[in-house]
Structure 1
Amino acid sequence: MPLSDPPNSELRTPNSLFLGIFLTSAATLTLELSIIRLLSVAQWHHFAFLVVSMALLGYGASGSFLSSFPSLLRRGPFGLLPRAGALFSVSALLAYIAGNWIPFDLARVSFDRWQILYLFLFYLVFSVPFFFSGLVISSALTHWNAMAGKLYFSDLAGASLGCLLTLGIFGILGGPGTLLFACLLGGLAWAVWGRMKGPRVVFPWIWTGFLVLLLFWQPSWMELRFSPYKSLRVALRFPGARLLETHWNAFSRVDVLESPAARTAPGLSLEYLTALPDQLGLAVDGDQLNAITRFRGEPAGAGELKFLDFLPSSFPYRNLRPRRVLILEPRGGLEVLNALYHGAGEVVAVETNPLIVDLLKTRYREFSGGIYDRPEVRVEVEDGRSYVRRSSASFDFIVFPLAESLGASATGFSGLREDYRLTAEAFRGYLGTLQPGGFLSLHLYLLPPPRGELRLVSTVRRALELEGKRPADHLLAFRTWGTFSLLVKKDPVGPREVEDLKDFCRQMRFDLVHYPGISPGEVNRYNRFPRPIYFESMRDLLREGERFYRRYPFDLSPATDNRPFFHSFFRWKYWEEIYRLAGGKWQILLESGFLVPVVFFLALVLSILFILLPLCFRGRGEGENPGGRRRFAWLLYFTVLGLGFMFLEISLIQKFILFLGHPLYSVSMVIFSLLVSAGLGSRFSIRLDVRSSRRLKLLLPFLCILLVGAAFFYPLILSFFQGSPAFFRWLLTFVLIGALGFFLGMPFPMGIRRAALRGQVYVSWGWCANGCASVLGAILPVLLALTWGFQVVFFLSGLCYLVALWALWKEG
């Protein structure tokens, strides 16, 4: 889009220009995805919506900046392009260093009011490199507008490559190294444009050489700083603790450490008085600390593993004698040892992280007793739900080990994290894999007042009801001094299982919470609360269901694939009660989903400040302010296009997390598919005449129908193919998103061309309105989905295109 009267569009277009655009776009997408991954480690969430919003703010501000200062364009492209390219590469590195030292910490939001300011600075700092990359693309398109097709193709090809490149680079260079690689790509683009000015420009090559040096020798100031409240940092503060090794892949950082704090035996009975075997800590993304247990010999009945008899997860083995066991996310392998120790004949361990499997099969094989190489153990590296979906095997026992960190669970940092392992649809799949009489075993940390424990019960309750069962008859529950255990039987619980559970809890001094027919006098005996809150809450939840959810101060509604925020408990309705329980500290409201409105307000302020205001002042100074109905119509048209596209993009990212197995896979593949397909649609739209609005008025309702149809049918398609091979799922993702993206790529360029017929000022305002709406549209879907789910957001994206149709009618 030309932002001012363009210079001569017939300027010479050297081939190096297209290479520079290609490298800049690849660097920009690599930078965006690397920030998402680094945030997953530094904080407790990937904040994909926040990073997308930061990138769009930078891009929108660059367009507004060029429109406000057209004199920059009149000086010729060979001055602006190298400078903007240089500033992008340099500012990306400086933004990482500054962001690393800004003391923003999600763990401190609930008690440190300065964290809001730090979040503001963090958001602003990381928007700067995207501002300069946007400046590169905008200025190139303005100067060489006659070659817009080739430039757009170079931009699209580079961005697409950046999406895919990141997935492989993380495993080679690590987190900070991948960000440095993005800076290096930007430095190479600077060098390419430097040659356009003259062959003697050496500064780009000096900078590029410096970045290569940093890649191979990263100084201490390049190390990623993450929250001191994460379990890895806590464990390393103990005397004698040391970090043994660190590994990265596209979706995780895995650390192995020695520490007195790296002792894993969740809920171990206080009746066990002997020392635990040696263990090494294993942390994923700096958290979820569990352990690799030292063992040699045959595990069945081994004396050194006696402590396993005193774990709450040992109950089904001691009394129910399962032969075929499925363990989901075993991490360091404690539950695999537990199954082998108790004589399980066949154990299937489904682990999503190949780094962990590789470590236990190679470097720590001898330490762990080679448990993953034993003939009775089969390891599957994939998402648990995908395995359950594709496998025809059935099991006597399915184990869900306790993996959530105590710190994150206790303070609600996981509230924004989608967890498709713990939804009603997931539990229906697990129950379908059980043999008759089989059990599903789930464990959580005990965190009063009851929240996560009751959300687990309510979600399982929904799954059982959908299977036509009476939930209370299928559940057993008990608690230790620090954990909550829920056992779900495929068939109704019988008297033998009840007596076995009562005997087990009496021997281990665990407290009963539920079994069919339990009486109040049997609960709260050993680890006592002033009132038997877990027994009473679970009893009332199973009896009353929705009525209990409505009056409880925390959100206990069942987690679903449409609303997969299992760890989000706060409710707007009870904010005053939560505020009072927190001792009058308002910061507690910023935990979990309550942080999203703050980010939304922050993005709104910055969008107005850096996108809309510059254009307002420019228009006022030059007498360009459009007026009347036409101005409102075009502003509304481009605003709802920005909102609709971002609503759809964020919804697709969330929906495909389960299908592809990880948030970073979903972000990369969704953005890649949208870039390619929307680019093709935009290119195709050039053939369509916009002098009449007829084609646009047909396209927009068609898009609405297409999106509503996708909202209904895509979940069914994804569920049906959930168990397919990974390559097929990636290919299907491209096809499904491409079918939408092709048509979604048309309304914006067609609107720009039609607005240009009315006057260049409408184009400038439309560009900035769309940019501002896109920034907000990256955050608003998460805010809506926390309450109503992503299906509603999907429908709203279709409604946005209907509003765009109405705006077009008003304009005409």
Structure 2
Amino acid sequence: MDQAQASETTAMAGRGVTWAVFLLSGGAIGFEILLMRLLSVALGQYFAALVISLALLGIGAGGSLLALARSWAIRRVRLVFPLLACGFGLAALAMTSLALARAVDFTPQALVWDPSRFQTLVAIYCFLALPFVFSGAGIGLALSAFPRHIARIYRADLVGAGLGAPLMLAAFMWAKPEACMPWVLLVGMAAGAVYLLGQAGPRNTRAGLAVLGLGVTLALLTPVHWATPVPGQYRPLAKALLLPGARITAERSGPMGWVAVVESDIPIRHAPGMSLNSPYDLPDQAAIFRDGGSLGVITRDTGSAEDLAFLDALPTALPYALRPGAEVLVLDAGGGFAVMEALHHGAAHVTAVEPDSRILDMVTAEYAEFSGNVYTRSQVTTEIAHGRAFLEQSKGGFGLIMLRG
């Protein structure tokens, strides 16, 4: 091979590993975001924050393993890098399925009274860290084996990571999180294929096309339920579904979470602070859950004053008695309970701020008649925003601000 051919081969290898690192880095960050969504449903939003630490653990472990076998891996980079990239995709699917299966019977609170649950926690942690071991070792190997292209590889790593998170969040707008798992598998396999296709020779080309074809096939054939999160048995949604005749009557999924509405044959009751001696009956209510955690209720309003008379017996009736006819701001309005309460007590106008548009969609669509069209009344204005962001831009003028859903 003359010098020109050698230079061209080196350039091709550099381009191949650059795009492979781009895909591998983006896939790893996207997978991290996906795990947060899945674990939010299975174990709760606070537990999902551990994904950051397990990702760092896995990447660090991958780098440590690479340091121990650096020379061996560099000599066999044409074989080892594709295996690490493909291993990331395959491990992401397999380990997530195993971790979610173990999470069904696990609750973080049980660690207080049952130390043996730490074994389950460690198992979940190790399962989910393994894909990041592959991605960390793969990116580290690329940087070590191709020092002439280190700037390009590092740039691809940063750009891939920067795009991986927003692309995964965008995917949540059209697909449930579990439906995104096969794409993580495909991205890992594609990274291995792109690396092989970037190497000179028909043998590498055939191998790259075979790996890519295998990845597409596995992504298309992978059952979605393998990565479907099930709320743990101690989660509020799991408890609500134990009621006789309990059923999910409406649901939405998006970047802000999975929202489900539950009705049951046994009446659902939500009246915070109401005395057990209260003479009022409560109307029918449907419970709202986000990622398996309680979010509030949608209350039936038939237009009869008797239906909402129980609102006079709640502690939150006092502010309205002190500020009659006030302009009311409700933050995190949710199913509209606090909005309905403000209207019942004679608020002049209610501004309902809710960050998740899908909740408003459910209340104004499937539950429009049930809720008495609470969000579409002339006295109500809805805003899609986070409470803090809305307050920073608001001109004020509210007599009451209700911090509840």
1:249 Cα deviation after fit = 1.9
Summarize the alignment of residues 357-506 of structure 1 with structure 2, pairs less than 5 Å apart.
Answer: 357-401=360-404
Distance 1:156 1:27 in 2: 12
Q: Choose the corresponding residue for 1:208, options 207, 216, 224.
A: 216
1:171 Cα deviation after fit = 2.1
Summarize the alignment of residues 646-665 of structure 1 with structure 2, pairs less than 5 Å apart.
Answer: none
- Structure 1 residue 255 corresponds to structure 2 residue 260: yes
- Partner residue, 2:139: 137
For residue 380 of structure 2, what is the amino acid of its counterpart?
V
- Structure 1 residue 13 corresponds to structure 2 residue 20: no
Distance 1:209 1:270 in 2: 59
Do the aligned residues in 2 keep the contact of 1:37 with 1:46 (CA within 8 Å)?
Answer: no
Distance 2:147 2:47 in 1: 35
1:320 Cα deviation after fit = 4.1
1:147 Cα deviation after fit = 0.9
Q: Secondary structure at the match of 1:304?
A: coil
- Partner residue, 1:225: 230
RMSD: 2.4
1:268 Cα deviation after fit = 2.2
Distance 1:44 1:338 in 2: 29
Q: String of CA shifts for 1:452-506, please: whole Å, max 9, x gaps.
A: xxxxxxxxxxxxxxxxxxxxxxxxxxxxxxxxxxxxxxxxxxxxxxxxxxxxxxx
Distance 1:179 1:62 in 2: 22
- Partner residue, 2:316: 313
- Structure 1 residue 304 corresponds to structure 2 residue 307: yes
For residue 210 of structure 1, what is the amino acid of its counterpart?
L
- Partner residue, 2:32: 32
- Structure 1 residue 281 corresponds to structure 2 residue 287: yes
- Structure 1 residue 326 corresponds to structure 2 residue 292: no
Q: Secondary structure at the match of 2:175?
A: helix
Distance 2:221 2:79 in 1: 28
Do the aligned residues in 2 keep the contact of 1:19 with 1:154 (CA within 8 Å)?
Answer: yes
Q: String of CA shifts for 1:32-52, please: whole Å, max 9, x gaps.
A: 122223233322334566322
Do the aligned residues in 2 keep the contact of 1:43 with 1:226 (CA within 8 Å)?
Answer: yes
Q: Secondary structure at the match of 2:328?
A: strand
- Identity percentage of aligned residues: 33
1:12 Cα deviation after fit = 4.8
Higher relative contact order (CA 8 A, sep 6+): 2
1:316 Cα deviation after fit = 2.8
Distance 1:130 1:74 in 2: 20
- Partner residue, 1:108: 110
Q: String of CA shifts for 1:628-686, please: whole Å, max 9, x gaps.
A: xxxxxxxxxxxxxxxxxxxxxxxxxxxxxxxxxxxxxxxxxxxxxxxxxxxxxxxxxxx
For residue 143 of structure 1, what is the amino acid of its counterpart?
A
- Partner residue, 1:267: 273
Q: Secondary structure at the match of 2:231?
A: coil
- Partner residue, 2:206: 199
Distance 2:267 2:119 in 1: 34
Distance 2:285 2:48 in 1: 35
- Structure 1 residue 348 corresponds to structure 2 residue 351: yes
Label 1:142 to 1:254 Cα distance change in 2 as closer, same or farther (>3 A): same
- Partner residue, 1:171: 173
Q: String of CA shifts for 1:551-578, please: whole Å, max 9, x gaps.
A: xxxxxxxxxxxxxxxxxxxxxxxxxxxx
Larger Rg: 1
Summarize the alignment of residues 578-727 of structure 1 with structure 2, pairs less than 5 Å apart.
Answer: none
Label 1:239 to 1:49 Cα distance change in 2 as closer, same or farther (>3 A): closer
Distance 2:245 2:195 in 1: 52
Do the aligned residues in 2 keep the contact of 1:170 with 1:248 (CA within 8 Å)?
Answer: yes
Paired residues, number: 389
- Structure 1 residue 119 corresponds to structure 2 residue 121: yes
Distance 2:158 2:205 in 1: 27
For residue 280 of structure 1, what is the amino acid of its counterpart?
A
- Partner residue, 2:61: 61
How does the TM-score come out when normalised to structure 1?
Answer: 0.46
Distance 1:376 1:26 in 2: 46
- Partner residue, 1:245: 250
1:261 Cα deviation after fit = 6.1
- Partner residue, 2:95: 95
Distance 1:58 1:281 in 2: 39
Q: String of CA shifts for 1:676-728, please: whole Å, max 9, x gaps.
A: xxxxxxxxxxxxxxxxxxxxxxxxxxxxxxxxxxxxxxxxxxxxxxxxxxxxx
Distance 2:54 2:233 in 1: 25
Gaps of 5+ in 1: 1-7, 404-812
- Partner residue, 1:41: 41
Distance 1:396 1:73 in 2: 68
Label 1:186 to 1:224 Cα distance change in 2 as closer, same or farther (>3 A): same
Label 1:279 to 1:47 Cα distance change in 2 as closer, same or farther (>3 A): closer
1:21 Cα deviation after fit = 1.4
Label 1:280 to 1:144 Cα distance change in 2 as closer, same or farther (>3 A): same
1:255 Cα deviation after fit = 0.8
Summarize the alignment of residues 510-529 of structure 1 with structure 2, pairs less than 5 Å apart.
Answer: none
Distance 1:222 1:164 in 2: 21
Q: Secondary structure at the match of 2:351?
A: strand
Label 1:151 to 1:303 Cα distance change in 2 as closer, same or farther (>3 A): same
User: Which segments of structure 1 move beyond 4 Å, counting only runs of 4 or more?
Assistant: none
Q: String of CA shifts for 1:136-186, please: whole Å, max 9, x gaps.
A: 112222221101111111111111101221221122222223343322221
- Partner residue, 2:240: 235
Q: String of CA shifts for 1:303-326, please: whole Å, max 9, x gaps.
A: 222222222222333454242111
Do the aligned residues in 1 keep the contact of 2:98 with 2:127 (CA within 8 Å)?
Answer: yes
Q: String of CA shifts for 1:508-561, please: whole Å, max 9, x gaps.
A: xxxxxxxxxxxxxxxxxxxxxxxxxxxxxxxxxxxxxxxxxxxxxxxxxxxxxx
Gaps of 5+ in 2: 1-6
1:337 Cα deviation after fit = 0.9
Distance 2:48 2:242 in 1: 30
- Partner residue, 1:472: none
1:74 Cα deviation after fit = 4.8
For residue 382 of structure 1, what is the amino acid of its counterpart?
A
1:239 Cα deviation after fit = 1.0
Do the aligned residues in 1 keep the contact of 2:268 with 2:286 (CA within 8 Å)?
Answer: yes
Distance 1:238 1:257 in 2: 10
- Partner residue, 2:3: none
How does the TM-score come out when normalised to structure 2?
Answer: 0.88
Q: Secondary structure at the match of 2:133?
A: helix
